[in-house]
């Protein structure tokens, strides 16, 4: 199930950056719904951003490993379905660098050098990371509620429904090439998935400037239950992002097979 875990980690990493646009909610308070709606409208104008954060992933079952990732990422929309960006990640003592440009993700794999993959083949990365998709993830938040407010910020908590999580993880597409038994395992993993989040909204812009996401998967093969927590700060909205592909990456060979951007433990 390495492929499934790669899909989970890579998609959650990127999707939580742009799920900030989900604005249609089933809130406990009218204030929370209004705030998310207003933030959704504001985030639709975002063409670029910087994200800095961390991901902690652990298995509850005895003896299962964990994974800790820190990352810095910049993304800029270039056209209706085109974007560019740069990402630096640190995981398991390794630094991983990724450039996204010309429709490809160029990855400098430790000990291997540069390889490239079409963005569309990297766990549907091209459909998740572009700022233009911020406004396309509605109908996902539920039970929204206002946690706190001060002179500069609102804090709004919410959950995400299970149907959204299935689509977020690309379960149907990612399992097309799996055996019947592997598909059963993937279906079992879906049961009981849960994702909750807290957004920090800047009052002056209504942009999402910070978030904490908790993602729980109760049934992962060979692991048992898995928990993931992400903490992300967003900044530099609508500032130009310059992507300069290193010379030794220009002629990088194309990687074979599927997979994600993040190594599993």
CATH code, domain carrying 201: 2.50.20.20
**Residue range 133-159: mean pLDDT, rounded:** 78
Of 96-110, 124-138, 139-153, give the lowest mean pLDDT range: 124-138
Asked, for residue 258, whether it belongs to a domain, the answer is: no
Q: Where in the sequence is the domain holding 177, given as residue range(s)?
A: 2-249
Q: Taking all residues of the chain, what is their mean pLDDT, rounded to a whole number?
A: 74
Structure tokens at 204: 């002056």
Asked, for residue 259, whether it belongs to a domain, the answer is: no
d(CA 167, CA 175): 12
**Residue range 167-181: mean pLDDT, rounded:** 58
**pLDDT-above-90 percentage for the chain:** 19
Structure tokens at 192: 């009981």
How many structural domains does the chain have?
Answer: 1
d(CA 262, CA 98): 11
If you ran DSSP here, which 8-state letter would residue 204 be given?
T
Asked, for residue 178, whether it belongs to a domain, the answer is: yes
> How would residue 177 be classed by pLDDT, with cut points 50, 70 and 90?
low
pLDDT per position as a tens digit, 55-96: 888 875 555 567 888 999 898 887 766 788 898 888 888 888
Query: 0.85 cut: is pTM over it?
Result: no
> How would residue 200 be classed by pLDDT, with cut points 50, 70 and 90?
very high
Q: What does the pLDDT read at residue 184?
A: 72
Tell which residue, 140, 151, 152, 158, has the closest CA to residue 207: 152
Tell which residue, 199, 164, 208, 168, has the closest CA to residue 44: 208
Asked, for residue 181, whether it belongs to a domain, the answer is: yes
Top-confidence residue, 235 or 159: 235
Asked, for residue 135, whether it belongs to a domain, the answer is: yes
Q: What does the pLDDT read at residue 81?
A: 65
Highest mean pLDDT pick, 7-16, 58-67, 168-177, 195-204: 195-204
- Flag whether pLDDT at 100 surpasses 50: yes
Asked, for residue 42, whether it belongs to a domain, the answer is: yes
Q: What does the pLDDT read at residue 57?
A: 82
Q: What does the pLDDT read at residue 195?
A: 81
**Residue range 205-223: mean pLDDT, rounded:** 82
Asked, for residue 84, whether it belongs to a domain, the answer is: yes
Asked, for residue 184, whether it belongs to a domain, the answer is: yes
Of 3-17, 28-42, 47-61, 79-93, give the lowest mean pLDDT range: 3-17
- Flag whether pLDDT at 207 surpasses 80: yes
Give the gyration radius of the chain's Cα atoms: 18
Q: Does residue 7 contact residue 265 with C-beta atoms inside 8 Å? A: no
């Amino acid at each position: 199930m390495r492929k499934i875990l790669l899909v989970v980690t890579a998609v959650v990493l990127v999707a939580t950056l742009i799920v900030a646009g989900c604005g249609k909610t089933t809130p406990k308070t009218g204030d929370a719904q209004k705030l998310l709606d207003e933030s959704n409208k504001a985030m639709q104008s975002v063409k670029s951003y910087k994200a800095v954060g961390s991901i902690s992933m652990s298995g509850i079952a005895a003896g299962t490993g964990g994974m800790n990732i820190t990352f810095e990422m910049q993304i800029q929309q270039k056209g209706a379905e085109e974007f560019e960006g740069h990402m630096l990640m640190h995981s398991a003592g390794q630094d991983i660098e990724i450039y996204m440009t010309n429709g490809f993700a160029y990855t400098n794999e430790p000990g291997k050098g540069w390889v490239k993959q079409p963005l569309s083949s990297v766990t549907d990365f091209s459909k998740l990371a572009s700022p233009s998709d911020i406004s396309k993830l509605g109908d996902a938040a539920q039970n929204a509620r206002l946690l706190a407010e001060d002179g500069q910020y609102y804090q709004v908590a919410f959950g995400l429904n299970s149907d959204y999580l299935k689509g977020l993880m690309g379960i149907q597409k990612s399992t097309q090439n799996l055996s019947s038994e592997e598909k059963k395992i993937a279906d079992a993993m879906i049961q009981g998935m849960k994702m909750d989040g807290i957004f920090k909204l800047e009052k002056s812009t209504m942009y999402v400037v910070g978030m904490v996401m908790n993602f729980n998967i109760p049934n992962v093969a060979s692991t048992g239950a898995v928990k993931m927590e992400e903490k992300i700060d967003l900044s530099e909205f609508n500032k130009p992002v310059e992507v300069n592909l290193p010379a030794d990456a220009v002629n990088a060979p194309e990687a074979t097979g599927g997979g994600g951007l993040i190594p599993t433990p």
